[in-house]
Amino acid sequence: MTGQFQLTEDQLAIQDAARRFTADAITPHAAEWDEKHVFPKDTIRAAAELGFAAIYVSEENGGTGLGRLEAALIMEAMAYGCPSTSAFISIHNMASWMLDRFGSAEVKAKYLPRLVGMEWMASYCLTEPGSGSDAAALKTAAVRDGDDWLVTGTKQFISGAPENDLYLTMVRTGEDGPKGISCLAIEKTMPGVSFGAPEKKLGWHSQPTAALILDNVRVPAENLVGGLGEGFRIAMTGLDGGRLNIGACSLGGGQRCLDEALRYTRERKQFGQAIADFQNTQFMLADMATELEAARTLLYLAAAKVTDGAPDKTRFAAMAKRLATDNGSAVADRALQLHGGYGYLADYPVERFWRDLRVHSILEGTNQIMRLIVGRDLLRQ
């Protein structure tokens, strides 16, 4: 960004390309994907052709080599059409970046060429049935056996499972707590890998979600991502960017809901006039727009801090994620209210956005955990 918080010409061009792709390839089909639980692989791979599958993977390794603000602009634009599909692409980007940033030359050469074009799709696997917010308490165990790791355990709520090809999985290789956690790249086809039943979700119907079940899976030692015992740090570093992206998805979805509410309230007439003419309606619309702009400004600032590696990047990413996801959901809720009974019907898109955005305050760290991150960082100063 330059001057008085203006996007650069390159950033505007990226934003425009993402918006045009969304208008052509996502928005016209999103309602059907939601209704029929369609996983739109062809559309997702078309996004990859624009570089949207490896946004901040280095150019050296075939990626686009952009920053976190550019990624946020892309995710926000695509979420205007479908938050679920945009969020799926965000998770793939997070996994690809983790390989690029922390993987050995061997593991990069093995997987990144297939990930940057989405020939393969990747998942991020941290959460377990017994460890959600307390992520460092994970139990999935990896025991060294010669040139391999033998991995046993279960990962819960895995976006992309069972369709995705590669699972970046946090496993326990040592002592209890965060220092005993490492990261392994596990392929779908490795013997002992299986999946739970598809989860029946409130929203996010355009991407599959299931448990990843690992039963004595033999994983080559070269598939270790980062050093031994560095998995928790890698996972948390990845989440800084993931939180920005999911916040951006809430901004895009919230903006769509605001635009739908503006359109509907201009057209809908009650008591002899458009409901947009009532001061109460205007107050609601004004608050919706203000809350989105406030969250957008904070999120863009946080994205710049994460790109620059600022000392307070994690705090700002947590603040931005909390504000953007809370505000996006609140805007969707008020947009539904302004639609009245029609907002509750699938004929209008706001109910889909209301459902899709609700999970954003839970995943990538709940918004209560975001407050803990911020509060503890403030007290350390």
What is the pLDDT of the chain when averaged over all its residues?
97
pLDDT, tens only, 3-26: 557 899 999 999 999 999 999 999
Mean pLDDT in residue range 40-64: 97
**Pseudo-torsion of CA 239, 244, 250, 255, nearest 10°?**
-170
Give dist(CA 330, CA 307) in Å, integer: 28
Residue 2 scores a pLDDT above 50: no
Axis crossing angle, helix 83-102 with helix 231-267, rounded to the nearest 10: 160
Tokens of 260: 């739908």
The predicted pLDDT at position 4 comes to 59
Q: Assign 312 to helix, strand or coil.
A: coil
Any idea which residues carry the catalytic annotation?
364
Q: Are 82 and 27 in contact (CB under 8 A)?
A: yes
Phi first, then psi: give them for residue 225, nearest 5 degrees: -100, 115
For tokens 């994620």, the residue is 321
Mean pLDDT in residue range 269-291: 98
Mean pLDDT in residue range 249-260: 98
Give the residue from 150, 93, 85, 155 showing the smallest Cα distance to 121: 93
Q: Are 87 and 159 in contact (CB under 8 A)?
A: yes
Question: What proportion of the chain, given as a percentage, has pLDDT over 90?
Answer: 98
Residue 205 scores a pLDDT above 50: yes
pLDDT, tens only, 258-268: 999 999 999 99
Give the residue from 39, 37, 127, 70 showing the smallest Cα distance to 352: 37
Give the residue from 173, 195, 174, 196 showing the smallest Cα distance to 184: 173
Give dist(CA 255, CA 42) in Å, integer: 26
User: DSSP letters along 257-298, please?
Assistant: HHHHHHHHHHH-EETTEEGGGSHHHHHHHHHHHHHHHHHHHH
Give the residue from 257, 251, 218, 210 showing the smallest Cα distance to 353: 257
Mean pLDDT in residue range 290-308: 97
